[in-house]
Structure 1
Amino acid sequence: MKIVVTADTHLKKPGQLPSRLITELQSADLIVHAGDWKTVDICNELSRYGDVAGVYGNIDDDNLREQLPAKQLLNIKGFNIGVVHGHGDKKTTEKRAIEAFVDEQPDIIIFGHSHIPMIRFFKKQLLLNPGSSTDKRALPYYSFAILEIGEEIHAELIFFSDKR
């Protein structure tokens, strides 16, 4: 199963998703967005490419907050995947994401907020932040992630320089 993971799109209107992301969305079995969509229009645009799961982030409008949870737990092919944006006070984004699922202990925790892409393990949990495909801030590249789930988990960050 191919899951395209994105976060922090911060887009105000549809039609602004980068072509590199769209290429992968076209073959995705599931799209996961870890918050800061900006508006429900972006959620609707992603839905044109397939099933979408996600959470709201700190900049999302009231429509998104009504439609999406603050955190979500998915079960895919026997793996539990926690999704949270990761915003809040004190501590790092990563620590807030881990603490959000302290009771559930998922196999994978997907989060955003920092715009800093990363894949690493914390104890037995795979931590995945896709970065941002539209707002790289001071980083040299835009990014998103591909998560392949079968008998094993394969996670990969995709970096690109042109957001058109």
Structure 2
Amino acid sequence: MKIIILSDTHMPKKAKKLPNVLCTELDGSDLIIHAGDWQTLEVYQELKAYAPVEGVRGNTDSDEICDLFGDKLLLEIKGYKIGVVHGHGKSRTTEKRSIEAFEQEEPDAIIFGHSHIPLLRQFNGVTLFNPGSPTDKRRQPEYSFGILNIKEKLDFRHIFYNSKE
């Protein structure tokens, strides 16, 4: 099972279209997970032409996105529990807020966004994954998104690239 993981697309403000490298990976994916800050419904509609889409709303999303998606989501995929949250809030770090959002659920992995900083690490047996942003790298050296392959285990990886064309 191939899952594309996105966050912080911020379209159309930061890009008029999805980057070609992302579109290539979207083609043939089984599921797309978006961790918020889509900004407009058009992003969702474009993504769902590739595969089913699950996601959460972020702190900059339109009313249409906020009406479609909640603040957090717990997916069960092939026996794994995967939490999804944007990660915005007032105190603590984005990572800590994301972990706290799922304290009661005991997920195998937590996907979050907000910071635009790619991250893949373990915390108390839970995989933490931030895909970064495919369209707004901020101070990061490259744009990025994630791929999760599920076979006998969860296999997360980042795709990094220099141009959002």
Runs (4 or more) in structure 1 with deviation over 3 Å come to none
TM-score by length of 2: 0.97
Spell out, residue by residue over 1:49-97, the C-alpha distance to the aligned partner (whole angstroms, 9 max, x if none): 0100000000001111111011000000000000000000010000000
Letter in 1 for 2:50: Y
Question: Does 2:3 correspond to 1:3?
Answer: yes
Aligned length: 164
CA distance in 2, matches of 1:80, 1:40: 27
Tell me the SS of whatever aligns to 1:3.
Answer: strand
CA distance in 1, matches of 2:34, 2:64: 16
CA distance in 1, matches of 2:43, 2:11: 7
CA distance in 1, matches of 2:136, 2:104: 32
* 1:81-160 alignment, distance < 5 Å: 81-160=82-161
CA distance in 2, matches of 1:96, 1:15: 30
Letter in 1 for 2:47: L
Letter in 2 for 1:4: I
Letter in 2 for 1:29: D
> Residue 151 of structure 1: CA displacement?
1.4
Mind listing any 5+ residue stretches in structure 2 that lack a counterpart? Answer: none
Tell me the SS of whatever aligns to 2:66.
Answer: helix
Partner of residue 12, structure 2 = 12
RMSD: 1.1
> Residue 152 of structure 1: CA displacement?
1.1
Tell me the SS of whatever aligns to 2:67.
Answer: helix
Spell out, residue by residue over 1:117-152, the C-alpha distance to the aligned partner (whole angstroms, 9 max, x if none): 010000110000000000001111000010011211
Which deviates more from structure 2 when the two are superposed, residues 147-156 or residues 70-79? 147-156
Partner of residue 38, structure 1 = 39
CA distance in 1, matches of 2:130, 2:28: 21
Mind listing any 5+ residue stretches in structure 1 that lack a counterpart? Answer: none
CA distance in 1, matches of 2:16, 2:133: 16
TM-score by length of 1: 0.98
